Structure 1
Amino acid sequence: MLDLHVSWDEYHQSIELLAKQIYQSQWEFDRIICLARGGLRVGDILSRIFKKPLAILAASSYGGDRERGKLSIASQITMTDPSMGSRVLVVDDLVDSGVTLQQTTVWLRDLYPEIEELKTAVIWYKACSLYIPDYYVSYLPSNPWIHQPFEKYDNFDILTMLKQR
């Protein structure tokens, strides 16, 4: 399988399956940290389902193409309350090489020593990853490129949209 195309319905169903898996593990957590951009929607929905505060950490290793670049992590986390909590769930859409999740979890533990337990959750876990997430919906042994429904906006601009309307 070279590419995996995901519809909005499949995307939302996958997030619900991820929530079910986390719930059934009976692991209690204080906060969700989503990795932006890919984990924004996942984190938002899980935050609503579990009624837990959401924090956002911008991290990126991809540009507008399929080439992986150097990982960039923001210098701060955005959150509305001052306490991180001792049990944190870090979410992203997928784990590819594993570099992003591995390095951000190290970064979080260094910056927030109050974190006693940290677990990770993704929708898709590719076999090529060196990092194994604690929770995932789909294991992908063939390492496909994943086309998510919102990616149509990656090659979209406001002027094109206005011309189409």
Structure 2
Amino acid sequence: MEKRFVDYAQYHALVDKVLANVQQANFHPDVVVGVARGGLMLADGLSRGLPSPMAVVMASSYREGSGTQQGQLRISSSVASLSPLQGRVLVADDLVDSGRTLAALLQHLRVAHPGITEVRSAVIWHKHSATFQPDFFAETLDHDLWIVQPFEVRDFR
């Protein structure tokens, strides 16, 4: 599979683009939830730029084939947060591939945290073929490629 390496300058410009999209939509989340691992840097940037507190959830469906093939979704049993998840929530992840993971995670959060009144999603990359449309994103990918984010280079030496 083709790989696209993104450096820190490119990455921060993409985070700023997502942040601008959220601000232009006049969405003011009560908390930004970062999906570990790939969504943590985006969540941090959004949390600082909006400003809103940040929480963290673990969710993964990419464990097969050395982490390159989608398998069964696993979601952490708790969310790391200083206060209960409630109100307006913005879930940040790195990319929407098929869309199944993020759609299932949003549904899980709504059920597990009934105080949530609105949940939206933000990603850096959105694959054109995805079945789920995130609310905010920086780029649409027209073909299948593997993004190597600047903090993932140890995985691809």
| Shorter-normalised TM range | over 0.9
Task: Note if contact 1:127-1:143 (Cα within 8 Å) is conserved in structure 2.
Answer: no
> What is the TM-score when the length of structure 1 is the normalising length?
0.88
Structure 1: 5+ residue stretches without partners: 157-165
Q: CA deviation at 1:65?
A: 3.5
The answer to whether residue 100 in structure 2 is matched with residue 103 in structure 1 is no
- Residue equivalent to 2:15: 15
Q: CA deviation at 1:140?
A: 0.8
Structure 2: 5+ residue stretches without partners: none
Q: Which secondary structure state, in structure 2, belongs to the residue aligned with residue 116 of structure 1?
A: strand
Separation in 2, partners of 1:103, 1:134: 15
- Residue equivalent to 1:129: 130
Post-superposition Cα deviations, 1:92-118, rounded to whole Å, max 9, x if no partner, equal: 010001111111001000011111111
Q: CA deviation at 1:25?
A: 0.7
The share of aligned pairs that are identical, in percent, is 37
Q: CA deviation at 1:4?
A: 2.2
Q: Could you tell me which amino acid in structure 1 is paired with residue 123 of structure 2? A: V
Q: Which secondary structure state, in structure 2, belongs to the residue aligned with residue 93 of structure 1?
A: strand
- Residue equivalent to 2:151: 150
Count of residues paired in the alignment: 155
Task: Note if contact 2:6-2:148 (Cα within 8 Å) is conserved in structure 1.
Answer: yes
Structure number, greater radius of gyration:
1
> What is the TM-score when the length of structure 2 is the normalising length?
0.92
Task: Note if contact 2:28-2:50 (Cα within 8 Å) is conserved in structure 1.
Answer: no
Q: Which residue, out of 70, 73, 92, partners 1:71?
A: 73
What is the Cα-based RMSD across aligned positions, in Å? 1.6
The answer to whether residue 39 in structure 2 is matched with residue 39 in structure 1 is yes
